[in-house]
Structure 1
Amino acid sequence: METTGLIPHVGENYTLKLKNTMQEILSELPKESPEFSHSSDALHELMQTKVDPPFDVIWVYSAIKFGCRKSLKGDILEQISAAKALFQLISACSAFVGGSKSIALLAPVVFIIHSVVKELFEVKKEKKVMKEVKSLVDMILGFMSICCSKISEEKDLDLVLSLNDLARLWVVDDDDDDDETNEGFETLLPLVSSDVCGWICGREFHVGYLAGAVMMEVFLLKLCLFFDMGMEKSELEMCLKSWSVGSISSFQNVYFLEVLMRTTLETSLPLNSILVSISILVIYSISAVLFIPYRLEVSIGE
């Protein structure tokens, strides 16, 4: 049998390889044209070694494989196609990992979709484009529901790179960005408030809470898309309430509920970045819908 001389990536060797690779990536991030080809090969080896690779290995590998920031450019249809392709890549890479990890890894996909939805509410909407976005959001909601059914007891995970560093693969830092802030992470989660982002980053990394934040973003995006259905206000409110209650019951995810509660208890909703052209009364109707899970939770506990 021929000996390759390669050291298998297990135990301490795996950890050392992982840390060295992540440090190489971190050193490339500030560059205008970062070079990740060598790191991509190393990450692929790390991916193949474990059935359930570390969170940051899947995140960084999918980002580099996909093209990171370059894939966020183009017209709306190109961005939708990019979001679909990234969703397929990440879901394939996370096929054998836990439910929360699978959902949390979708943060960059939701980031792209948010950009598309925001643009659609600012310009004249094309039916074809809106249909494509709605279909993609529904696909992700279905995927998350499946993931929620296989979520077991969640544990804190050790990350080699911080959440802010991981976010920098997708968003561009300001030149004067402070390493102590969560600016990159907050940018990647545009529908999650600064306070909630700080709460997630200010603790040991718990993949369940990041998954809950991603779920909340998709939940809010779906609510926003209801406004394109041309319904009367009373019918719209009924539809929003019915869908919200059904979705929350379907998810049955405590992390999603906690992030949602922390968001709805704040003075303003993060939907303003999308619904800038919609009347205040309609925004208030969404606010009322978002308090439904709180009322349900209280009634259950009584």
Structure 2
Amino acid sequence: MAAAAGSIVVDFPSMGSACCFPSLESLLRDSASRFLAAVSAAPDPDLTNFRSLFSRVLNTYPDPPLEAVWAVWFFSALSFHDSPDDLRGLLHLLSAFTASSQSAAKPLALLAPVISELFHSAKPRRETEALVEAVLSYVSICSSRAPAGGEGASADAGGLLPAFGELVKVWSVRHSRDRCPFQVLFPLVGEDARRELMREGCSVVFLAGVVVAEAFLLRLCLKVQGAAGVPRAELQKELRIWAVSSISVFQNKQFFEVLLNMLVNPPLPVYSLLSADDEILVRDILYDALILVDYSFINKGAEVDQADSSLLPLFVSRLLITHDAINDARSKGDQGRAMSFMNAFFTSNIPTYFVKWATRQAGFNQLSKPAAITPQALLKWLVELEDKGFRVFGDNVSRIRERLMYDERRNGYQSRMIHSDADLFFIDKQNGGEVMDTRAGEDEEAAEMETADYAFMAAAQSMKTNGMRKRKDCGTEDANVVKFVKYKVEDSSVKDYFLSGNNGVSSGSEVENPQSDDEMEETN
């Protein structure tokens, strides 16, 4: 092999003569095609030439560029093909290659085959758990490298090569030639994430987030599998603490967004690992960990003040799962849990973000305001913005409409029953009519549909003092539970926009919920 003017010259014995490749990517693409052809022709092909070639290629890169990272994928696939049970060796090979890298995303992205092989492995659960723990420990180490525009940031900003799809086929061929290769290699994420990975120009940072999400979800499922006989409530509390701790340590926004999207688009991709009841438990744990905790790496004050449009998909997903979690808790008759979710929403920066984003798009005086400060009302408001030409939900807008229509039909009877309790809520219709354009009849109807949520939030506020006293009087039963960290809206104009005419609720919160990541660092 020799390189000149950016070209790579390779002498494959099977070619009969030297072959010149214009780039490392073209070499990868050609080698992947030859590998797949060799595996298809014989169950145990001779891969000596491939290993020798890529061993020389990789030895030329002490600090590998992005193309060389994918060369590692190919080289590790060759090695693993001969020793398919050596998962620890595979993890060591992939992690050792980027040990000196200042990047955070490249080392994590490389681990995708490890998670896939662990998922498909028939190893005993205890051995699999040990390997997943090793992966998560490595994730924690890499997370500390996360660049904030400094050294390593340029490497993390790269996109996947066009040859990435061929490399996915190389790793998936051992398990199935009939299924989609991306489904085989990424078994623990939803279809939306896979489509993003297939998209030309997908970022390495996103792939890293997918890998972290898969490792996290696999470990969570294994913990549930190994907890036979443990009371459900105790297990949920224990795993919620573990989930919150892990999210706080990883501080990976893409990982967080992948988890959100899994919940937005059910079912969770764990059907082959857990029973239906256990899947519900995992979903409840994720609801708690993603909604009830104020993570500083998500709620960046400057970004929220600017209403950065790049954060729109993340905030839409947070709004949707909060809405779903509240409805799920109510359907189970768990009003206390539903109130915790509602309270977390009300004290979060979600409403603030959307009103600032919308006013940046259209201007402050050009918009109607939501009928109420609830997830359902905010979703309806955003659908109205979509109707006016603003891109909020993208291709998912029809799905959001169907979800809201279903909720209205399901909750209609309950709303009519609670409507008589007028003393529990207050709607300033006069003030609202002035701001909410000329659709007074429609707005009044929308407000009535939100009556249940108003009553619900007002009840939560009226109960908070007595509820807190009762819990404190119970001794050490809730000694380990801490208060949810309140998000303080600094922009008074936004508060006025939502709260013009007292709605009967305050922004304070005394619902006891899991800690924020900042609090956990302090208490640890």
Give your verdict on TM over 0.5: yes
Contact 2:6 2:22 (C-alpha < 8 Å) held by counterparts: yes
The aligned length equals: 267
Query: Compared with structure 1, are the counterparts of its residues 249 and 41 closer, same or farther at alpha carbon in structure 2 (3 Å cutoff)?
Result: same
Deviations 1:49-82 (A, max 9, x none): 1223222111111111232xx544xxxxxx4xx2
Question: Out of 159, 162, 177, which is 2:161 matched to?
Answer: 159
Question: Out of 108, 112, 125, which is 1:107 matched to?
Answer: 112
Query: Compared with structure 1, are the counterparts of its residues 158 and 245 closer, same or farther at alpha carbon in structure 2 (3 Å cutoff)?
Result: closer
Answer yes or no: is 1:150 the counterpart of 2:156: no
Contact 1:47 1:57 (C-alpha < 8 Å) held by counterparts: yes
Q: Report the Cα offset of residue 109 of structure 1.
A: 1.1
Pick which of 14-23 and 129-138 moved more: 14-23
- 2:167 alignment partner AA: L
Answer yes or no: is 1:254 the counterpart of 2:253: yes
Number of the residue aligned with 1:238: 237
Larger Rg: 2
Deviations 1:88-119 (A, max 9, x none): 11112222232211111111111111123xx5
1-structure distance, mates of 2:92, 2:27: 28
Query: Compared with structure 1, are the counterparts of its residues 272 and 176 closer, same or farther at alpha carbon in structure 2 (3 Å cutoff)?
Result: closer
Alignment of 1:113-132 (within 5 A): 113-116=118-121, 129-132=124-127
- 1:200 alignment partner AA: L
Answer yes or no: is 1:90 the counterpart of 2:104: no
Answer yes or no: is 1:38 the counterpart of 2:49: yes
Answer yes or no: is 1:219 the counterpart of 2:223: no
Contact 1:99 1:150 (C-alpha < 8 Å) held by counterparts: yes
Pick which of 153-162 and 198-207 moved more: 153-162
Query: Compared with structure 1, are the counterparts of its residues 12 and 134 closer, same or farther at alpha carbon in structure 2 (3 Å cutoff)?
Result: same
Q: Report the Cα offset of residue 134 of structure 1.
A: 1.7
Question: Out of 226, 229, 235, which is 2:227 matched to?
Answer: 229
Q: Report the Cα offset of residue 254 of structure 1.
A: 0.9
Q: Which runs of 5+ in 2 are unaligned?
A: 9-20, 148-152, 299-344, 350-486, 488-524
Q: Report the Cα offset of residue 201 of structure 1.
A: 1.8
Question: Out of 267, 279, 291, which is 1:283 matched to?
Answer: 279
Answer yes or no: is 1:28 the counterpart of 2:39: no
Number of the residue aligned with 1:13: 7
2-structure distance, mates of 1:88, 1:160: 27
Deviations 1:17-57 (A, max 9, x none): 52235413323313323554323222222211122322211
2-structure distance, mates of 1:270, 1:86: 25
Contact 2:209 2:254 (C-alpha < 8 Å) held by counterparts: yes
Query: Compared with structure 1, are the counterparts of its residues 22 and 44 closer, same or farther at alpha carbon in structure 2 (3 Å cutoff)?
Result: farther
Contact 2:160 2:203 (C-alpha < 8 Å) held by counterparts: no
TM, length-normalised to structure 2: 0.47
- 1:195 alignment partner AA: D
- 1:56 alignment partner AA: W
Query: Compared with structure 1, are the counterparts of its residues 300 and 52 closer, same or farther at alpha carbon in structure 2 (3 Å cutoff)?
Result: farther
Query: Compared with structure 1, are the counterparts of its residues 272 and 40 closer, same or farther at alpha carbon in structure 2 (3 Å cutoff)?
Result: same
1-structure distance, mates of 2:176, 2:278: 35
Number of the residue aligned with 1:210: 207
Secondary structure in structure 2 of the residue aligned to 1:49: coil
Q: Report the Cα offset of residue 83 of structure 1.
A: 1.3
Query: Compared with structure 1, are the counterparts of its residues 262 and 11 closer, same or farther at alpha carbon in structure 2 (3 Å cutoff)?
Result: farther
Identity %: 28
Q: Which runs of 5+ in 1 are unaligned?
A: 1-5, 73-78, 121-128, 178-182
2-structure distance, mates of 1:141, 1:51: 25
Secondary structure in structure 2 of the residue aligned to 1:30: helix
* RMSD value, Cα: 2.5
